Amino acid sequence: MSLKIFIDAVNFKPTPRPAVGSGTSIVTGELMDMTGACFPDAHLDTELPKM
């Protein structure tokens, strides 16, 4: 039900209550491998570069 409310709100349809959703992108390593689209190294390598 919550997904329908969110989708309806995005499409400017009436909803029984305010819709909320996260704008955060959720990506897994498996999805990146499957699609060939990867985060920049900075997102995966937690070590600071050596200066």
pLDDT at 38: 75
pLDDT at 11: 94
pLDDT tens digit string along 2-41? 889 988 998 999 999 998 877 666 777 787 788 777 777 6
Cβ burial of 9 (10 Å; 0-12, 13-18, 19+) is: middle
pLDDT at 31: 78
pLDDT at 21: 75
| CA nearest neighbour of 15 among 27, 28, 2, 25 | 2
Would you kindly state where each structural domain of the chain is located, as residue ranges? Answer: 2-37
Q: Which residue has the tokens 């499409």?
A: 11
pLDDT at 43: 66
pLDDT at 1 over 70: no
| CA nearest neighbour of 8 among 38, 17, 46 | 17
